[in-house]
Amino acid sequence: MTVAEIIVDVPTMQTNRPFEYSIPEALNDVVVPGMRVEVPFGRGKRKIQGFVMKTKDQSDFKGKLKPISRVIDLKPVLSNEMLQLSYWLADKTYSFQISCLQTMLPSVMRAKYKQYAIPLDKTDPEVLNLFQGQATFEITNSLTDSQIRLINRLRKNEKIDLRYVVENKAQQIKRQAVMTDLNIIQLHEAKNELRGNAKSQVKLLDFLIQHLNDLPVEMSELQKNFGIARSAIKTAEKNKLLKIVEVTKLRKPEGINPEKTTKLELTDEQQVAVDQIGQAISREQPETFLIEGVTGSGKTEVYLQTIEKALQQDKTALMLVPEISLTPQMVNRVVGRFGNQVAVLHSGLSSGERYDEWTRIENGDVKVVVGARSAVFAPLQRIGLIIIDEEHEASYKQDDNPRYNARDVALWRSKVNHCPVVLGSATPSLESRARAEKGVYHLIRMKKRINNQNLPHVQIVDMRDAENSSIKGDFSPVLKNNLQATLENHDQAIILLNRRGYSSFMMCRECGFVLKCPNCDVSLTYHKDLGKMKCHYCGHEEPVPNSCPNCRSKKIGFYGTGTQNIEQQLNDLFPEARVLRMDVDTTRRKGAHAKILQKFGSHQADILLGTQMIAKGLDFPDVTLVGVINADTTLSLADFRASERTFQLLTQVSGRAGRAKKTGRVVIQTFNPDHYAIKDAAKQDYETFFKQEMYLRHQSNYTPYYFTTLISVANKDEGQTLKQSYWLKKQLQTALSKDAILLGPSPTMISRKQNKYYYQIIVKYKHEPKLHDKLLEILNETQADAKKGFTIAIDNEPQHID
Ligand SMILES: Nc1ncnc2c1ncn2[C@@H]1O[C@H](COP(=O)(O)OP(=O)(O)OP(=O)(O)O)[C@@H](O)[C@H]1O
Ligand SMILES: [Zn+2]
Ligand SMILES: [Zn+2]
């Protein structure tokens, strides 16, 4: 092959296509698709990164192609499947292909790192010659092409391997490690030259001699496990016996060391599910199953046993869990069953840890991958099964470019891998449930709880009642009495504070002034640990004011029922109860989430109080009471999914009660006791809710009856933003049939963020073959305006409209 098609790292519309480069003869069969290379770009001497998409023998280009400058990877970092996926993804999400390619890789691969070669076969003469007695050497651009060819061949024959050592990347856990350029003979010589009393140096050299193949070794390990003092290492460094380098820490993520579990005997409903999915795995059918299983019906065990079926056939399995589901419980269950065959990928990992896990997957060292949204790009091969737990979760959709939905990516991969997809939830998204209705997905219903336990008894408390409207604080007598009884029985309770944002803001009770961000149209929120007011959008922070900046009154204070406030009320009501609070404040530190849950799980607390993050997935046998303080918050969202979100939240949180032997009770406090979302959730009646909500969506032309595309325009100048929005609307009108519905332009709910004004247009449609190309055209044209500060974002099937 002499020509490579390359996607370059210049994210603009004009460069959003492959460019052809010639492959220098010396790199002839080294350059393959999926590798990153460095190429000259544009006029001048600029060198940039690019991904090789294709290689071929001929170019249609008449002139002389520029040559690839050097290869960055000596083995492809993206498989053919991923390259294909990037085309589809870029098209589907209106993103630059380069962004899609980069999204598929762990972030450290975008960082600067060094690559080292290490020998695997130390008897091979070519290897010996290449290393020249060194334990390792760095792959730099000073290597000649013929050296690169040799390295590449030796790597393919597994005579050597390549390792990355990350240079400098913020927020990465870096460790100092010891490494040496000396070979074994030189080390022995050095040891012989030491004076007899240099005991610690002798010890250190002995270590290096013995562990030459394991280098680099972390300094802390040398100190802890081999008793070699830091000073000895420093001395040896001075004498050029070793080098100190930085490495990313290789370790298993925290909080994952569950007990080994074995498979449970399945209930009839579980058995049916496992059999059906198992058959699809064996037949290699890209079929999609929707498991609609009530809370506590044992969906996890179905996942585990179907994963096992895939493994038995020498296939792999990919399981996605929602973001908030840093749910250590689910991860523990998978790791507990499959041990170190599992890699875990979630946003709680440092980028180094993430890269470690990615490498294990890429090397084929693991068979099961569990992770949040971006784990859908895990470089697994021979996928036999893809599972998406809590499939209704909005967090499967990425809010930034590329705005992909992991559910769609999973379906794409299932087709390429010929494997089934399992979507599971007690409260499926309307889209998925509607697809099951039409027979596109295969519906599996699990209606019974494990142990034939009843669904919890739910009581709705009308907060408008005389009895409740006059209470001080937020606990109705009903909820108070239930809490009292729970504590007396030594059971546990979960209290949900349904919050829009997650924290409190400041308001003056004299003049109504609200402390807002100077750059964004949002109120600043209080961060207790910083003791400061902070903007969630731009990070602006300022001290907590003592008096109102507007009227100087001292009556400025925190407003909104924060979790801290509720915690205080609980402490006042039940001084003897042990309360754990889980919200953004208490979970900011890494691993804090898992620690709180672990504490609650081992019954070191009686009440778990928290925001939405405690609502789903938790499985604690002693929880008999769930209380919802304010069911209405999510109902008031200006989003067509407000009812759906409310129903899901209330059903999910209610489902935490009475999951084992004890019966559960739920108390829901609301100002809208007659709203169908609340009534159906109280009955845990998904099917009734589904029918009602489908009817309303039909009436108002929303998903799943119509497709939705959201286009937002931003500019620092509000007048310009508006002008641009109307221009955009006109453009769209030319491409749309009269069946399409255009809404807006209207300011977004937070109309100013980081000093930019935001307007949005919503397109609702059934079949508009020209829309896609029109949107691409608009993107193209506005690119030219980019310098004026316009930004246009296109969101296909948005999860949030505000
Ligand atoms: N076949 C079985 N025999 C005995 N116990 C089981 C069986 N299957 C599941 N369980 C137990 O039942 C409990 C509930 O199961 P699980 O957490 O999987 O429910 P779920 O369907 O995921 O519910 P949710 O949607 O509320 O998260 C767990 O403690 C699980 O260990
Ligand atoms: Zn701000
Ligand atoms: Zn005031």
Does 677 have pLDDT greater than 50?
A: yes
pLDDT for res 60? 81
Does 762 have pLDDT greater than 50?
A: yes
CB of 264 closer than 6 A to ligand 1? yes
Ion ligand 3 contact residues with beta carbon within 5 A:
508, 510-511, 513, 548, 550-551, 553
For the chain, what is the mean pLDDT?
86
Q: Give domain status of residue 418, yes or no.
A: yes
Name residue 527's beta-bridge partners: 532
pLDDT for res 435? 96
CATH number at residue 80: 3.40.1440.60
> What is the distance in A from the centroid of ligand 2 to the CA of 21?
44
Same domain, 376 and 495: no
Does 485 have pLDDT greater than 80?
A: yes
Question: Where is the domain boundary, 77, 105, 133?
Answer: 105
CB of 659 closer than 6 A to ligand 1? yes
Q: Give domain status of residue 252, yes or no.
A: no
Q: Give domain status of residue 130, yes or no.
A: no
Does 17 have pLDDT greater than 80?
A: yes
pLDDT band at 347 (very low <50, low <70, confident <90, very high): low
Same domain, 355 and 232: no
Give the predicted TM-score (pTM) of the model.
0.79
pLDDT digits (tens, 9 = 90+) for 152-183: 888 888 888 877 664 434 334 567 888 888 88
Task: Report the percentage of the chain scoring pLDDT > 70.
Answer: 91
Residue 514 tokens read as 């609200």
Residue 141 tokens read as 């651009």
- Is 538 assigned to a binding site? yes
Q: Give domain status of residue 489, yes or no.
A: yes
pLDDT digits (tens, 9 = 90+) for 414-447: 999 999 999 999 999 999 999 999 999 999 999 9
Nearest CA owner, ligand 1 atom 24: 295
Distances (CA, A) of 550 to 390, 520, 543, 544, 577: 46, 18, 16, 14, 41
Same domain, 489 and 367: no
Average pLDDT over residues 682-695: 95
> What is the distance in A from the centroid of ligand 2 to the CA of 712?
19
Does 251 have pLDDT greater than 70?
A: no
Same domain, 282 and 419: yes
Same domain, 476 and 393: no
Does 303 have pLDDT greater than 60?
A: yes
Under a CB-based contact definition with an 8 Å cutoff, are residues 413 and 89 in contact? no
Q: Give domain status of residue 256, yes or no.
A: no
pLDDT for res 502? 44
ipTM of model: 0.95
Question: Where is the domain boundary, 82, 105, 128?
Answer: 105
Same domain, 684 and 727: no
The total of structural domains in the chain comes to 6
Query: What is the Cα–Cα distance from 784 to 141, expressed in whole angstroms?
Result: 36
Same domain, 493 and 517: no
CB of 619 closer than 6 A to ligand 1? yes
Amino acid at 519: N
Question: 301, 337, 455, 622: which to mutate for ligand 1, most atoms within 8 A of CB?
Answer: 301
Task: For the beta carbon of residue 374, count every other beta carbon within 10 angstroms.
Answer: 22
Same domain, 778 and 676: no
pLDDT digits (tens, 9 = 90+) for 53-81: 999 988 888 888 999 988 888 789 999 99
CATH number at residue 347: 3.40.50.300
Q: Give domain status of residue 139, yes or no.
A: no
Question: Where is the domain boundary, 105, 138, 173?
Answer: 105
Range of the domain at 64: 3-105
Ion ligand 2 contact residues with beta carbon within 5 A:
517, 519-520, 535, 537-538, 540
Ligand having the closest approach to the CA of 533 = 2
Under a CB-based contact definition with an 8 Å cutoff, are residues 337 and 364 in contact? no
Same domain, 309 and 432: yes
pLDDT digits (tens, 9 = 90+) for 263-292: 999 999 999 999 999 999 999 999 999 999
Same domain, 430 and 333: yes
Nearest CA owner, ligand 1 atom 1: 266
Q: Give domain status of residue 127, yes or no.
A: no
In the chain, the largest separation of any two C-alpha atoms, in whole Å, equals 93
Does 258 have pLDDT greater than 50?
A: yes
CB of 391 closer than 6 A to ligand 1? no
> What is the distance in A from the centroid of ligand 2 to the CA of 716?
14
CB of 433 closer than 6 A to ligand 1? no
Instruction: Name which of 424, 429, 497, 425 is nearest 641 in CA terms.
Output: 429
Look up tokens 């959003």; give the residue. Answer: 16
Under a CB-based contact definition with an 8 Å cutoff, are residues 495 and 567 in contact? no
- Is 419 assigned to a binding site? no
- Is 100 assigned to a binding site? no
Ligand having the closest approach to the CA of 556 = 3
Does 255 have pLDDT greater than 50?
A: no
pLDDT for res 250? 47
Query: What is the Cα–Cα distance from 385 to 48, expressed in whole angstroms?
Result: 38
pLDDT band at 325 (very low <50, low <70, confident <90, very high): very low
Instruction: Name which of 41, 36, 37, 113 is nearest 77 in CA terms.
Output: 36
pLDDT digits (tens, 9 = 90+) for 211-231: 877 777 888 878 877 888 888
Query: What is the Cα–Cα distance from 316 to 140, expressed in whole angstroms?
Result: 35
Peptide bond preceding 328: is omega within 30 degrees of 0, i.e. cis? no
CB of 664 closer than 6 A to ligand 1? no
pLDDT band at 253 (very low <50, low <70, confident <90, very high): very low
Query: What is the Cα–Cα distance from 719 to 386, expressed in whole angstroms?
Result: 48
Same domain, 400 and 278: yes
pLDDT for res 19? 92
Q: Give domain status of residue 137, yes or no.
A: no
pLDDT for res 27? 85
Ligand having the closest approach to the CA of 511 = 3
Helix axes 592-601, 328-338, angle to 10 degrees: 80
Average pLDDT over residues 139-145: 76
pLDDT for res 254? 47
pLDDT digits (tens, 9 = 90+) for 718-740: 888 888 899 999 999 999 999 99
> What is the distance in A from the centroid of ligand 1 to the CA of 105?
34
Same domain, 381 and 462: no
CB of 684 closer than 6 A to ligand 1? no
CB of 159 closer than 6 A to ligand 1? no
Residue 168 tokens read as 């400098």
Residue 647 tokens read as 């129903």
Name residue 163's beta-bridge partners: 116
pLDDT for res 71? 86
Cα angle at 3 between 2 and 6, to 5 degrees?
Answer: 145
> What is the distance in A from the centroid of ligand 3 to the CA of 344?
50
